[in-house]
Homo-oligomer: A and B are copies of this chain.
Amino acid sequence: MKNTTLKPRTPVYIIGSASVVGQQERKGPIGASFDISEKDDFGMDSFEKAEAKMQCLALGCAMSKAGLTEADLDCMLAGDLINQCISSSYGLMDYRIPYFGLYGACSTCAEGLLLGALSGLDRCAAVTSSHFCSAERQFRFPLEYGGQRPPTSQWTVTGSGAFILSTLERDCVRVQGDFVPEITELLPGCIVDRGISDAGNMGAAMAPAAADTLERYFQAGHTPEESDLIVTGDLGHLGMDLLLQLARDDGMNLGGKLTDCGTLVFDNTVQDVHAGGSGCGCSASVLAGHILQCMAKGIWNRVLFAATGALMSTTSSQQGQSIPGICHAVAIENEVK
């Protein structure tokens, strides 16, 4: 492994993005930034089908904002938390677009952006989702059981985010007027396992991976001053505190630039979400909504988006294994035309 970041060989622009969320997310502090929100069942007869429908809606909305149809896309990169990533495959199978399935847990949004940007294809889509009810049922307990969630637990965001990447200069001139975010730098993460085995404390499992990736990023010659914002996703309040502590211990300067998608999406003083938001859909919908909108307004011009994932499974947890984490980083810059 080399101690350098990767740069796309040709400029990669985000020419369209869309977010789809449920009710809890709409009521949160950045609720107005999401494109679509519906009741949590999205009119479907299971939560898994509802999650699939969110991906379908998100990609459709992002393509429409980019003024493209499925015939214009070279591929879609998508993943989610549900076993065998069925929210992605069933949600996107009606689009006649070549499909790459990903599994990066809650880091999947960044993984998709990273692989899409590396591919150098003319146009591709990165899509991901999570759903509170399908995730609780699969990873913890079905909602009907009424299990108590520990204070360290995070609330899986019911949400989906879709992004259309293009390397075609004419696309970014055409679609978004004076705001065209560009993906300028990439740093894929290594798997980091510090022995956390509490499936109710994802923040602790992921914080060391975030510290590892950020440390590699700064070792590659970067400074926190270069970015207007460093946003992890989705450490939540406890995970973010741990990351700050790890950074202090390692002498890593984050320059007061750190925030986290899991802390932005809910207000845990009034919403009963314990340590904050999580899930593939958290960082994806917060990036597609709040963050890119703030960049469009010129509030931030360079954002380091460092999405974290806990690579856990009920199978490995039941076999006594600890929870490895991963963090992929993508630098997004406001390309003012």
Q: Which residues of chain A have a CB within 8 Å of any CB of chain B? A: 1-2, 6, 9, 46, 48-49, 70-71, 73-75, 79, 81-86, 89-90, 92-93, 96-105, 111, 114-115, 118-121, 138, 187-191, 193, 311-316, 319, 321, 324, 326
A104 surroundings in chain B (CB, below 8 A): 100-101
Known: A188-B100, A316-B86. A120 touches B118 (CB 8 A): yes
A74 pairs with B2, CB closer than 8 A: yes
Write 29 A-B pairs (CB below 8 A) sorted by A numbering. Answer: A1-B71, A1-B96, A1-B97, A2-B74, A6-B121, A48-B316, A49-B319, A75-B188, A83-B314, A84-B316, A86-B313, A89-B311, A89-B324, A89-B326, A90-B321, A92-B191, A93-B193, A98-B187, A98-B188, A98-B189, A99-B191, A100-B188, A101-B103, A101-B104, A101-B111, A101-B326, A102-B103, A119-B119, A120-B120
Nearest CB of chain B from residue A79's CB, rounded to whole Å: 6
Known: A83-B83, A86-B315, A316-B90. A190 touches B98 (CB 8 A): yes
Q: Number of copies of this chain in the oligomer?
A: 2
Nearest CB of chain B from residue A248's CB, rounded to whole Å: 24
A90 surroundings in chain B (CB, below 8 A): 316, 321, 324
A96 pairs with B315, CB closer than 8 A: no
| Cα–Cα, bound, A270→B286 (Å) | 56
A101 surroundings in chain B (CB, below 8 A): 79, 102-105, 111, 311, 326
B190 pairs with A99, CB closer than 8 A: yes
| Cα–Cα, bound, A308→B175 (Å) | 36
